[in-house]
């Protein structure tokens, strides 16, 4: 029977570390880290995420700046706001909540954010730095997953690691982080043949495919660490992950639940990145 990895607990520990360090820095330098979050339109899920980020800022002692723009906002107007935030010394991190309305090119917006304020680590410069292992920021979800793996006491070095999913937000950076820790990494996706054969060899399995209950018990190696990144809603309204939880818990040594696993970590790592940005911009080492 798997040990359930408590994402809420690990997330709270990360936030507490950030809060304590922030308190020390505010006392010493008289300045607070500041995070600007921009939301365009009225997407209900985006509004929940933005509210959660605002609450997290309050918890750790950051300044929070919210910019709620209308659905009709043009790309030029959003780019103008990003440039203003790039120049604002009170703002250490900038996050534009995705998705944005169809008249806006999200790549153009991401590329306009100053790399040193890109606390999502989506800017091509930061993506390149992750590739070569010389990064200041890590994408929040993969970074949170590494914290969850570390919380198990399992050493990634030498382990067979399988990532299902090749998105720029989770799959690709996740593979790089495991590789930087000397894991032997395989990336699987919709075109992968004999998927179950590959996943069954994984000591560490990360599922980020976006399909409910996609990973079944017979795809999991006995004693594996299984990280479920999926957040899917069933017809009955219940949330579930990419991994069949009931089957997986009989095979895995460690398993993240949905909800309460990877989800809480993402915002905690955003706070950690914002603190890092504050220190870099103020030359605090």
Q: Is 43 a catalytic residue?
A: no
Residue 276 falls inside a structural domain: no
Is residue 234 over pLDDT 90? no
Q: Which of 32, 53, 172, 221 is catalytic?
A: 53
Which range of 37-51, 152-166, 224-238 scores highest in mean pLDDT? It is: 152-166
pLDDT higher than 90, residue 237: no
Count of Cβ atoms closer than 10 Å to residue 284 Cβ: 12
More confident residue, 234 or 197: 197
Residue range(s) defining the domain that contains residue 90: 30-114
> Mean pLDDT lowest for which of 99-103, 232-236, 280-284?
232-236
Assess whether 154 and 51 both reside in one domain: no
Of 15, 32, 117, 120, which residue is the catalytic one? Answer: 120
Q: What is the pLDDT of residue 235?
A: 85
Q: Give the list of residues 6+ apart from residue 65 with CB closer than 8 angstroms, or none.
A: 34, 35, 36, 37, 85, 90, 91
Residues 86 and 151 in one domain: no
Q: Name the domain count of the chain.
A: 2
Is there a single domain that holds both residue 199 and residue 110? no
Task: Read off the CATH number of the domain in which 161 is found.
Answer: 3.40.50.720
| Residue 17 a catalytic site member | no
Kindly state whether residue 209 falls inside one of the protein's structural domains. Answer: yes
**pLDDT tens digits along 151-208:** 999 999 999 999 999 999 999 999 999 999 999 999 999 999 999 999 999 999 999 9
Whether 272 is in a domain gets the answer no
| Mean pLDDT of the 50-75 span | 97
pTM above 0.85, yes or no: yes
Q: Residue 223's closest CA among 240, 237, 202, 196?
A: 202
pLDDT of residue 267: 95
Active site residue 120: yes
The secondary element (H helix, E strand) that includes residue 272 is helix 263-281
Give the C-alpha separation, 131 to 179, whole Å. 10
Same domain flag for 102 and 184: no
The one-character DSSP state at 262 is S
Which CATH number belongs to the domain containing residue 60 in this structure? 3.40.50.10860
Across the chain, mean pLDDT equals: 96
What's the CA gap between 228 and 237, in Å, rounded?
A: 19
Contact 32, 22 (CB under 8 A): yes
- The tens digit of pLDDT for each residue in 130-149 reads 999 999 999 999 999 999 99
| Annotated active-site residue in 15, 32, 97, 203 | 97
Q: Is the pLDDT of residue 279 over 90?
A: yes
pLDDT above 90: residue 70: yes
Question: How far, in Å, CA of 170 to CA of 164, rounded?
Answer: 10
């Amino acid at each position: 029977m798997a040990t359930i990895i408590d994402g809420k607990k690990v997330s709270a520990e990360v936030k507490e570390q950030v809060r304590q360090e922030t308190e020390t820095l505010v006392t010493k330098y008289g300045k607070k880290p500041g995070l600007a979050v921009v939301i365009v339109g009225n997407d209900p899920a985006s509004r929940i995420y933005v509210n959660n980020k605002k609450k997290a800022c309050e918890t750790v002692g950051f300044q929070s700046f919210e910019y709620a723009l209308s659905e009709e906002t043009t790309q030029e107007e959003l780019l103008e706001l990003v440039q203003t935030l790039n120049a604002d010394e009170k703002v250490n991190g900038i996050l534009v909540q995705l998705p944005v309305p169809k008249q806006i090119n999200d790549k153009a917006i991401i590329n306009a954010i100053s790399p040193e304020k890109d606390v999502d680590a989506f800017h091509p410069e930061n993506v390149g730095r992750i590739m070569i292992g010389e990064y200041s920021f890590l994408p929040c979800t993969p970074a949170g997953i590494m914290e969850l793996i570390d919380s198990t006491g399992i050493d990634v070095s030498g382990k067979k690691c399988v990532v299902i999913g090749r998105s720029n937000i989770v799959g690709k950076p996740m593979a790089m982080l495991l590789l930087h820790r000397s894991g032997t990494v395989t990336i699987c996706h919709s075109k992968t043949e004999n998927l179950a054969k590959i996943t069954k060899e994984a000591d560490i399995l990360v599922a980020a495919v976006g399909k409910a209950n996609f990973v079944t018990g017979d795809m999991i190696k006995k004693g594996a660490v299984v990280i479920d990144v999926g957040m899917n809603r069933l017809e009955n309204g219940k949330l579930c992950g990419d991994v069949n939880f009931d089957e997986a818990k009989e095979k895995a040594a460690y398993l993240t639940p949905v909800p309460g696993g990877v989800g809480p970590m993402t915002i905690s790592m955003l706070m950690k990145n914002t603190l890092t940005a504050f220190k870099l911009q103020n030359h605090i080492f």
